[in-house]
Amino acid sequence: MPTLSTFRSYSLKIRTAVAVTLLFILFCFACGYLGDRYIEHTIRETVHNGQFSYVTSLAQSLDDKLELVQDALINSAANLGREIVDNPDKAQEFLDSRYALKSLYDNALFLFSPDGRIIAESPFLADRRGRDISFRHYFRTTMATGKPFISDPYVSTHKQGHPSVIMTVPVRDRQGQIIAVLAGAFDLLGKNNILADLAGMKSGKHGYVYLFTRDRTMIMHPDRSRIMKQDVPPGSNIMYDKAVTGFEGSGETVNSRGLHALSSFKRLQSTGWILGANFPFEEAFAPLVSARRYYAGGLAFSALLVISGIWYMMHLYLSPLSGMTRYLASPEHTGALLPPVFVTGDELGNLARAYNNIITEQMRQHEALRESEERFRTLFHQHSAIFLLIDPLTGAIIDANGSSTRFYGYSIDELLRMNISDINAPGAENHAELRDRVSSGESGQFNATHRLKNGELRSVSVHTTPIEVAGQQVQFSIINDITGQWEAEQLVVSREKMFSSIFDNMGIGISIISPDLQIISMNPVMAAWFPNLDVSTTPICYMGFNTPPRESPLPLVSHYSDPRRWQDSHRGNRDAHARGSQELQGSRNPGPRPQRRDYCRHRSG
């Protein structure tokens, strides 16, 4: 890789400083990452638990307030009798005098007849007495159950268009019959009721609290325009969807407006409404983000300190190594031993000692090599044998000794200007074969014919092997003059050919029998007489001539050792041969048989 090769071109000091700094940064990054994960998890758990505790406490407080306000309405209902219920003016006067109750219910106080008509309301509005509200869910529920009831949000007609929540309690006579319904309503757009207070509550600095029903209708929200709306569609807020289905707790979510927040939810026991709180994720983890910035700054500062410290220490520790490098790079110190100033007791001293040991060993090896080459040169030039050094690629003669000059008749300078092909007598084809053998560096022995300076051809035996001389691979050839030996071998071959010709062309049958009476060879005449005997692959006992076989070999020996029988055979006297055959057959007549033995094996044993 180009980057890696470029980095390697820098000095050891720079590379070490960079490498240690990178390791330091990597270590700090790993520690920071693990610490960041731990802190983030801790903050998340702390915010989740803290916010859920806050929402739980707030829901409990709201339940208590709703119960307190409802109890106040119930106590007022206990003071109503039939004389007030039956008289609208007295009923109006009764409602107007309930100052404490009116401070709790900022929309209005109502008194409804059992058939669902307005008896009185405070504040008073003209032309509303007798209006039928029996269709309202809160009225029908109260009349059906006979119990106090808190309604879901509805649009008030007392304050036109204002969303409201109303509390109703039945008014009973002494016999327990419902004679009226007393009600108090909260204006959800107002500022002086227990529900309106939720709009101003915070979760953190920028978080908020809101209240909604199980059918997703918003009861209270800091954004008053969202009250009475079902503007959180399913799927737009995962935690909101879970809360609608009954979940209570905290979790991370993105709300329908795209706010990334930590959300907590708790149901009110009195109404089943759901109280929620959103704590912006950015605000929750702002301390962590700030800590990350400080950590990054500290890491950069620490890395700068580490680089500076490492640079200084590397300069301090490696300055002797730099001095050693400059010393070795100097041409006059090439191959020389390091002075004692570098041979210290630390790792640098160990390196210097190892270097000096290597140089000393190289000097010893060079001296041994020089002595070996000197001995080889002395042996090469003073030996009585014919030596040549040949370039294995070109066949050029690199060196020759004095014996070669005496043998070939050329001077040393003449031989060094020649090629091995100049003294080889064979034709071009044989020369190419010899050249390939020399070029391949093959070790071995072969015979050749060399031409001397005077034109004389000499048969030689060449022993060749590859060696290295002065760093160069050459072919070392030892040449022996075998001209006399070759002529003697040719004489033997000639005589063998002559004997073979006489043996094969003689008109009589001739066989060669070994000392242990084994037939080794037969000439063509003998082979024609005894076609069943094949001695071309394996010698056969001479008793094979006894055809048909007989027990005793002696008559056969006598027969073939008698010169007259040989002459009869040569003249083609078949009668004499027939008589010999009859003698052989006579030995097979019935009578006592002599003891049989293997004569060939007996004689050889």
In angstroms, the CA 134 to CA 20 distance is 84
H or E stretch at 281: helix 281-284
Across the 605 residues of the chain, what is the mean pLDDT of every consecutive 10-residue run?
Answer: 62 76 84 84 85 92 92 92 92 92 90 94 91 93 94 90 93 92 92 84 88 93 90 92 93 90 92 92 82 83 82 78 80 81 78 86 85 82 88 88 90 90 68 57 78 89 84 86 78 82 82 85 85 82 69 42 42 42 43 47 46
What is the DSSP-derived secondary structure letter of residue 384?
S
Residue 384 is predicted with a pLDDT of: 85
Q: Tell me, what's the pLDDT at 31?
A: 86
Q: What pLDDT score does 474 carry?
A: 86
With a pLDDT cut of 70, the percent of the chain lying above it is: 85
CB atoms within 10 A of CB 425: 15
| Helix pair angle (574-586, 554-561), 10° resolution | 160
Which stretches does DSSP call E strand in 312-390?
Answer: 386-390
> HSE of 369 in the Cβ direction (CA atoms, 13 Å)?
10
Residue 499 in tokens: 């004997």
The answer to whether the beta carbons of residues 448 and 463 sit under 8 Å apart is: no
- Return left, alpha or beta for 479; rule: phi > 0 is left, psi -120 to 50 is alpha, else beta: beta
**Closest alpha carbon to 237 in 220, 223, 254:** 254
Q: Token match 């003209």: residue?
A: 126
C-alpha–C-alpha distance, residues 287 and 293, integer Å: 10
pLDDT of residue 547: 59
Whole-number pLDDT of residue 85: 92
Cα 34 to Cα 378: distance, rounded to the nearest angstrom: 77
Q: What letter does residue 588 receive in the DSSP assignment?
A: T
Q: What is the pLDDT of residue 59?
A: 93
H or E element, residue 478 = strand 472-481
What tens digit of pLDDT does each residue of 41-93 get? Answer: 888 888 888 889 999 999 999 999 999 999 999 999 999 989 999 999 999 99
- Residue 441 gets the label, from left (phi > 0), alpha (psi -120 to 50) or beta, of left
Tokens of 563: 């010169």
Question: What tens digit of pLDDT does each residue of 248-273 get?
Answer: 999 989 998 889 999 999 999 989 99
The CB-side HSE value for 362 (13 A sphere, CA atoms) comes to 10
Q: How far apart are CA 141 and CA 247, in angstroms?
A: 27
What does the pLDDT read at residue 436? 64
